[in-house]
Structure 1
Amino acid sequence: MEPSFLFDPANASLIAGLVLLAIDILVIGLSPVMFVGAGSIAASLLLYVTGWRPALAETLALIAGASLLVALIGWRPLQRFQAADVQEDQSSDLVGRELVTTHDVTKDGGRVHWSGLDWEARLAADAPVERLGPGARARVARVENLTLVLAPL
């Protein structure tokens, strides 16, 4: 006797994969859950092609293995895709402000006290100097993740 539609491992894997992908895309927004959904769909395709109908534990193991394989293959491309449209926010009202450094600032990092706050700071990579000491005048060239990137004046 044939198993019912939902109890067929190939059908159940396909439905689970589609549901996981839908949740990932619509709710989460491209996360590692996508790999489990894609692995479930890959396992379902393998079951359809081979005609194999394993027990639940074997089906789950097949889905886990397929998900791991999809994750190993797809992790780097997903990271590149997610970072492709990332652009620094240049709308900060700090850009263009002139300030006086209060601590040493190098191209690797430093701190400045400005407007009542201590800020992480560093010199811009193309700055003509390697270090600004306390009391040096600088302009905020851009803000990167709450770090002031300074250009000496």
Structure 2
Amino acid sequence: MWWLLWLTAAVLLGAAEFVTLTLFLGLMAGASLTAAVAAGLGASLPVQLLTFALASGAGLAVIRPIAKRNLAQPPVSRDGSDALVGRSALVTREVTATGGLVHLSGEDWSARAYDEDLVIPPGVRVDVFQIEGATALVHPRDPLPDPELEEK
């Protein structure tokens, strides 16, 4: 019967870990599973408690510091042309699906519209969505004015 109580504790602790993401409760759930196995093999209650204590102590002393160290690593830095993705640029020559020119990070870059149906006139601010070779795929930051409304 003890194995069922340990297993229930493991499930409850695992669910609580899922909500809190502290890693502490997850390690306690793992320790409860080891105690459930000990109970299932017929170990006495003191042996089950000792198994739980040793497993939780080992998890907290060994596994948790390693996991926290790996979670605390700095974000991956982007360099080269990948660092330009997400930046803002200014259209200097009309950008279409076939080509154009933008001023990006102090340099002129060849550009194409990310949306093939767009024609982006000079002077419009765009965001760089992707870099393909030496060409920036861009999209207007703000909606473009409707050319039909301007003609009226």
What TM-score do the two structures reach when normalised by structure 1? 0.41
Structure label with greater radius of gyration: 2
Structure of higher RCO (CA pairs closer than 8 Å, 6+ residues apart)? 1
What TM-score do the two structures reach when normalised by structure 2? 0.42
